[in-house]
Amino acid sequence: MVASLERENSLVGFFRWLYAGVERTIFMGMKFTFPSRFVSPLGFLGMLTFIMFIILGITGALLMLWYEPILDRAWDSVENINDVIPYGFHMRNIHYHASNAMVMLALLHMYYQYFSGRYKIRNEILWVTGIILGVLTILEAFTGYDIIFSERAELAISIAASLTNSIPILGPQMRDAFFGAGFHDFVLRFYAFHVFFLPIAMLGLMLVHFPRFLVFDVPMVMAITGAVMLTGGVFPVEMGLKFDPNVPPGITVPEWYLTGLYAFLRTQYDKFVTGVAWPGLFIFTLLVIPFIDRYKRFSWKDRPIITAIGITSIAQIIVTTYWGFYIDPDRTKSLLERLVIDPIFFYLVMILLVPLSFGFTYMMIKLAKNAEANAKLQPKKPGGKSSVNISQKWIYIVFVALLAFQVYLNIAAYYAVLSGMKNYSLFIIGIIMLVFAAMFHIFRSGRAMAKAPPPKPISPPPRVTKPALTPPSTSPSIPASSKEEKPIVAPSAQKSAGNPSSPQNQPSQPQSSRGTSAPASSNSSSTISDPTLSDINLTNATNMTTSSPSSPSNENISSTNSTDVDRKKV
Amino acid sequence: MAAQQTPSRGAGRRISRRDFLKLMAAAGTVMTFTPFIDWGKFLPNPTGNISERAKVELPDGSQANVKTFQVNHSEAVVYPKTDDPALNQEAFRTWQFIRLPEELGGNKNDPSAFRMYSMVCLHLWCLWKYWPEPGRKRGECPCHGSMYDPLTGKAFAGPAALQSPPSNVLPMLDLEIDGNGDIWIKPPNWSVDGNGIVGFGRFIRA
């Protein structure tokens, strides 16, 4: 059996031929990496966001077959999808939960890039397009839940329309142009935005946003897909009540990514200020942050002000998001009393969060630096968490057990559908996805084990590509720009050069490989661009500075490299 | 490029042929794409652009008349009315046609006795209506309790009253009465300074 798999059959040949053909396409500019071991998903959250986008595209396209963007039929068509169409429930739930996951992953992706300072080193375009993509993602999710035309959708549309109206001078014209007049136009236009305008704009931006090095981690992709389905099974999305202007609606709050904005609106302060100017200022700050951040280092520990700003924003997002959800449960009070947030109290808390967050950041940096210093005194822990430390035989046994489990789950899922338990079947299919993720993880571990000793991994490719990436003129430019960088480069270089074999350098690796991918590029690039630093830098992960001219390529791939390299060295 | 620029600078204020050509090309490009600015009119819905007066058509199909329409009474009127019954049901086309109570001058036989407000509540777009009962005589929204003054259309209680201008005053259509006493709606001006924007509001004219 093994032998038959070893043989190159015509199908494998066909795929090889296809793969070779990719040389002629724009895809050859990209480098896909399929990690051969567990890699922290923090490094490829962007890819996971994109996977969600793809899932949304597929399920959304299918939902288009049944959805009717017409004033008096929109809600009923969604109900039809949900209740009547076979697997419509599944599609709708995956679509809904994947939209939440996409917004969440995009946020996490942004904050990870923010704290690891990866928007530096000529990645500013990536960052700016990423922020715009994030805004479009939220608009996309927003228009999506509006076209159900439930009471909550109507609330959201009315807020969006009045916010647009409140924009000085051009507001009313903009509302007329984008929203049209009346509910009939609203539904149809939001639908057009949702299925075409926004996705096409996002795809265009993605072309610019995508880095050259991409990580496609099959188990992680399947795991989050499974998690989305599982969530859909446990918390199926509700239909809401059909909007009828003659029926008093219950209290509804918007989706979680907009409750922060909603909290501001609920202070009943001027609509333009609370609903347009504040979020606009927030987005603008994010857009320009790479140009404000003048620190020469990457780690959050070395950029205290920027880190503190980030922590403040997170604190404010969390507080406002919760506040937006919170509605006084006391039903004896008037609705207005329950809804309105006291602006003085609210803004006071917002302001108070600033010194608190700055203090918190100061404490965290102190603690982290302390831990770093302590770690230097202790010997390194051997081994990584990633490897599956079981024998080959047990790998087979676990694999077979998982396969049997898959068979059982398949039957269970089918019977769940037969007996009308849609959410249960969606839940089980989510588990199937997760089991696949586990199987794939075991598979690649087993394969890596079979190839003992592990071959020197992917690290050669970047070295090979580096000279091609780096124009020859850049290495002379180092001395020119070294005026500022010298204080940073020099000490670390001396440190590593001074005691190359001492344990002092090595303990600093874990943070770097966890916190940022920057060291990877320093590893590979500095060996080429700066001969004085030589290979010693490979072990010294903290000396990453902006001095390496070829470092813009430190993308996701590099982070995998760095972890691999680090483990090897350890 | 660089070699070309130096002589042009040396030539002082005079524009070089090359720069002149560039200017012409830029002007040509601008002229080519200028007509498309007006194409922006594709976006707004044109059904609101009405240049003629329209009947105040009551639910029974008749035109409202000063002589027959009761004091302190209201009806829901569709405006602008279309041939599509589904569109006629739309909240944004429903207006509350009110003849004011006597104490507010409702027994006069001129347009000042009548009001026509958008029924879309300025708070969250429910449909409010006029309550003629003694002690009420005001517009009330069933959803969150916003209340409207029938004389001006201004919200005086509830969440809509807390909204800053223009979002606390209902859009209002201008009316006129012909020789027969029939009531007509004058062509509207859909702006916050004119008749207002449905679902958003209006500035009260000083």
**Which tens digits make up the pLDDT trace of A459-498?**
555 444 444 444 444 444 444 444 444 444 334 444 444 3
Which of A426-430, A453-457, A549-553, B88-92 is most confident? A426-430
- Of the candidates B129, B121, B126, B140, the one whose C-alpha atom is nearest the C-alpha of residue B59 is B129
Distance from CA of B135 to the nearest CA of A (A): 21
Instruction: Tell whether B152 lies on the interface with A, counting CB pairs under 8 A.
Output: no
Share of chain B above pLDDT 90, in %: 20
Which residue on chain A is closest to B123 by alpha carbon?
A: A158
A-B C-beta contacts closer than 8 Å = 92
What does the pLDDT read at residue B45?
Answer: 82
Instruction: Name the least confident of A3-17, A209-223, A436-450, B163-177.
Output: A3-17
Residue A67: pLDDT over 90 = yes
Residues B90, A184: C-beta atoms closer than 8 Å:
yes
Taking contacts as CB-CB distances below 8 angstroms, the residues of chain A near B92 are 181-183
d(CA B154, CA B141): 13
The 10s digit of each residue's pLDDT in B91-113 is 888 999 999 988 888 888 888 88
What does the pLDDT read at residue A380?
Answer: 63
What does the pLDDT read at residue A237?
Answer: 86
Average pLDDT, chain A: 76
Residue A61: pLDDT over 50 = yes
Taking contacts as CB-CB distances below 8 angstroms, the residues of chain B near A268 are 159, 162-163
Residue B123: pLDDT over 90 = no
What does the pLDDT read at residue B116?
Answer: 93
What does the pLDDT read at residue A58?
Answer: 94
pTM score, two decimals? Answer: 0.75
Residue A263 falls in which region: left (phi positive, over 0), alpha (psi -120 to 50) or beta:
alpha
Tell me if ipTM is over 0.90.
no
Mutate to test the interface with B, among A152, A166, A342 (most CBs of B within 10 A): A166
The minimal CB distance from A177 to the residues B43, B86, B126 is found for B43
Residue A566: pLDDT over 50 = no
3-class DSSP state for residue B144? coil
* Overall average pLDDT of the B112-141 stretch: 88
Distance from CA of A161 to the nearest CA of B (A): 8
- Residue A340 CB coordination number (10 Å): 15
Residues A248, B40: C-beta atoms closer than 8 Å:
no
What does the pLDDT read at residue A95?
Answer: 94
* Overall average pLDDT of the A79-101 stretch: 91
Distance from CA of B32 to the nearest CA of A (A): 23
Average pLDDT, chain B: 85
Taking contacts as CB-CB distances below 8 angstroms, the residues of chain A near B48 are 181
What does the pLDDT read at residue A545?
Answer: 37
pLDDT band of residue A381 (cuts 50, 70, 90) is low
Contact between A36 and A448 (Cβ < 8 Å): yes
What does the pLDDT read at residue A7?
Answer: 66
- Of the candidates A470, A447, A487, the one whose C-alpha atom is nearest the C-alpha of residue A530 is A470
Q: Which amino acid is at A443?
A: F
What does the pLDDT read at residue A377?
Answer: 77
What does the pLDDT read at residue A382?
Answer: 54
Could you tell me the CA-to-CA distances from A467 to A477, A539, A554, B106 in Å, in that order? 15, 22, 14, 87
What does the pLDDT read at residue B46?
Answer: 81
The 10s digit of each residue's pLDDT in A404-416 is 998 999 998 888 8
Cα A30 from chain centroid? 19
pLDDT band of residue B118 (cuts 50, 70, 90) is very high
Query: B183: which DSSP letter?
Result: E
The minimal CB distance from B44 to the residues A162, A176, A340 is found for A176
Residue A209: pLDDT over 80 = yes
d(CA A562, CA A224): 24
Contact between A470 and A67 (Cβ < 8 Å): no
Contact between B95 and B173 (Cβ < 8 Å): yes
What does the pLDDT read at residue A448?
Answer: 76
Residues A249, B164: C-beta atoms closer than 8 Å:
no
Instruction: Name the least confident of A401-405, A507-511, B41-45.
Output: A507-511
Query: A195: which DSSP letter?
Result: I
Instruction: Tell whether B86 lies on the interface with A, counting CB pairs under 8 A.
Output: yes
Instruction: Tell whether B127 lies on the interface with A, counting CB pairs under 8 A.
Output: yes
- Look at the block and give the residue holding tokens 């903009």: A174
The minimal CB distance from B45 to the residues A185, A268, A335 is found for A185
Residue A235: pLDDT over 80 = yes
Residues B126, A245: C-beta atoms closer than 8 Å:
yes
d(CA B143, CA A212): 54
What does the pLDDT read at residue A492?
Answer: 40
What does the pLDDT read at residue A284?
Answer: 93
